[in-house]
Amino acid sequence: MKKIHILGIVVIAVAIGVIIYTLGQNDSYANFSEALANQDTEYHVVGKLDKTIPVQYDPKINADECSFMVIDNKGLEKRVILHKSVPQDFQKSEQIVLIGKMQGDEFHANDILMKCPSKYNDPVKPQI
């Protein structure tokens, strides 16, 4: 075999390895039940903040940690510990996406995405 053929085979093998690694790193959406069953895997959990239970956040104790209750799309409620400070307008969010892993019976989130009510929607359209 020529050196160019060997180099081509090595490049193809590396490309296949990168593709397989990338496919394995995709985070997946789940609910708390799935995250509880696979505690070593990072998931995106979609849910709503339970506004009946207050958010526990004390920046004097730990500014980078807060906890709150979330109800996922299947109706299961779990305590979430967010390892960041409380995001702005957190209480106004309609839906949240938590990124993290289950540890025991709690979901430990490294990041959070929020869907807030749009300020561009007209609540009442004037009639002419």
Tell which wins on pLDDT, 85 or 124.
Answer: 85
Burial track 37-70 (b if 16+ CB lie within 10 A, e otherwise): eeeeebbbbbbbbbeeeebebeeeeeeebbbbbb
Bigger pLDDT: 1 vs 98: 98
Tell me what pLDDT residue 26 has.
57
Mean pLDDT of 115-124: 63
pLDDT at 80: 94
- From CA 57, how far away is CA 38, in angstroms rounded? 28
Query: For residue range 18-75, what is the model confidence (pLDDT) as tens digits?
Result: 887 766 655 578 889 988 898 888 889 999 999 898 888 888 888 888 999 999 989 9
With H, G, I as helix, E, B as strand and everything else as coil, classify residue 49.
strand
Q: How confident is the model at residue 110 (pLDDT cuts 50, 70, 90)?
A: very high
Residue 114: band (very low, low, confident or very high) from pLDDT cuts 50, 70, 90 = confident
pTM of the shown model:
0.68
Q: Which of 25, 24, 26, 45 is CA-nearest to residue 100?
A: 45
The pLDDT of residue 79: 94
Domains of the chain: 28-115 (2.40.50.140)
